Amino acid sequence: MRTFVIRLVIIALASFGTALAVNALRPSGSIALIRPSQAELAMRDGITPLHLDTAQLYYKDSAILFVDARPASIFKRGHIPRSLNLPEEDFDSLYAGFAAKVPLDRPLVVYCDGIECRSSEILSKKLKEKGHKYIHCFFGGWIEWRDAKLEIEK
């Protein structure tokens, strides 16, 4: 039994050590041992993360457009008032219509369900690539907004 446990430990340690060594020698560059937060990753891509309190402030400014990245069927069930639905999965087919209505210098706040969805982050990157200048990502999204009992629209 002792030998059995020692072998398990050796397998675990050998694989861990090799993993660190391979990461250090990776030709494409090693990845950080501690993963940056989603907000930090977004900032690296030129996207500004927003917390709920700032999102509320921005909501009061009609010059700032809220963009809902969720599918249309979910958007219809409830969303932040005055937001525009641009489902991330249909971006390629819907972007032309979006671009016709929204100039590149209009500030945007992109959201999806909440911290467990990625479509707001992905959509933010796609909009950035299209040349939109001021993109904010509200990671708390619909769930945080709704749970804070803020104004909603159906």
Partner 1 sequence: MTSLLRHQIVLLLLRVFTGGIFIYAPLDKIIHASGFSDSVWNYHLLPQAMINLWALWLPMLELLLGILILIGVWSIEATVLVNFLYVLFLIAIGQGLARGINFECGCFSQGGKGASANWSTILRDVWFFAMSLWLLWAEKRQSTWSLLQEIQRPESLRD
Strand partners of residue 7: none
Interacting residue with partner 1 among 2, 25, 35, 77 (CB under 8 A):
35
Give, in order, the Cα–Cα distances in Å from 118 to each of 23, 95, 128.
Answer: 26, 18, 16
Interacting residue with partner 1 among 2, 34, 91, 100 (CB under 8 A):
34
Regarding 137 and contact with partner 1 (CB under 8 A), the answer is: no
Regarding 72 and contact with partner 1 (CB under 8 A), the answer is: no
d(CA 58, CA 51): 11
- Minimum CB separation of residue 20 from partner 1 in Å reads 7
Query: Interface mask (CB under 8 A) for partner 1, residues 80-119, using x and -?
Result: -----------------------------------xxxx-
- Minimum CB separation of residue 7 from partner 1 in Å reads 4
3-state secondary structure of 11: helix
Residue 102 CB neighbour total at 10 angstroms:
17
| Selected range binding partner 1 among 8-16, 61-69, 99-107, 144-152, rule: CB under 8 A | 8-16
Regarding 45 and contact with partner 1 (CB under 8 A), the answer is: no
Tokens (6 digits) for 111: 């959201």
- Nearest Cα neighbor of 70 from 150, 144, 141, 132 is 141
